[in-house]
A and B are shown apart, each in its own frame.
Chain A
């Protein structure tokens, strides 16, 4: 038992990255997405979001990530699209102005890969999501890059005439980059 404790202590000490990354730099973070429109790949992003992160690579299981996305800050590719997407059939951003992701568990997958489990809430609906992510350090800062596929149908994003997936596809690839400095 003593040997194990000693080993653990040695390992923690040897783990040079035992730093807490919690100060998110919004200017270097981003939330982007891509979707297919009649076979054409379209790119978009959210310009305003807030996030809280606490991540210590030596203690991944106790990591926590939360982000709140201001849906009105969407850039869906054109001003027509942005106007449309704010409407009731899509985000209904007047009633549901924020999309929120709260992590529930972080599982290390080996190397710099992690699996972040969490709950995503959009337009009054909450779904479990799994986000595969990588974590890389850049000097004093760490960068979390996660990509996952969201099915817009799961959140009723695009109702009525837009509910069919022939014009705007169901799958939306979301890419989240959180750039955080360590304390």
Chain B
């Protein structure tokens, strides 16, 4: 029975957090731009970051399957524990579905992804403009869901830290911060 997150779990968590925030910000900004060389460049970067996040998710899933995170505190009501598990499940689900929807959309729109301009990633679908439009809307909707789930995730962490005053937030922080807490 372990009582702490492994340093790797923490690193994966914060790395993913940074990637997701970057991807969301970039995605929201770039989609409204008029067509320009800069827009094409931003789209390329967004897709490369998305592929990276997808690979990182695979790593996270492997680590999560082989390293059990610490249990939620006994003081936490069962309903809240249930909500927490649901929220985390939703995050994992979205981290899987969002890049996948992006990959499908890009394929259907006929824009193959070439990772960092060197590694071609096969299209999952043939070119189909109508399907591409539908998948674009799916990608957008899933990201809206992600933003809501993230708001809940961050809000809950802060609530635990400042209101419940338990160690839920602290245990995801690097060890040195924990000692200073």
Give A contacts to B, CB under 8 Å. Answer: 37-43, 77-78, 80-81, 83-84, 161-162, 164, 166-168
Contact = CB atoms under 8 A, between A and B. Distances in A.
Contacts of A164: 37
Nearest to A81: B35
B44 interface: yes
A164 B83 CA distance: 53
With most chain A CB atoms within 10 A of its CB, the pick from B37, B38, B113 is B37
B44 A42 contact: no
With most chain B CB atoms within 10 A of its CB, the pick from A40, A42, A83, A164 is A40
Interface string B33-65: 001111011001000000000000000000000
B114 A38 contact: yes
Interface in B1-51: 35-38, 40-41, 44
11 contacts: A38-B44, A38-B117, A40-B114, A41-B112, A42-B111, A83-B35, A84-B35, A162-B37, A166-B37, A168-B37, A168-B40
B110 interface: yes
Contact of B40 (A41, A83, A167): A167
B114 A80 contact: no
Nearest to A44: B110
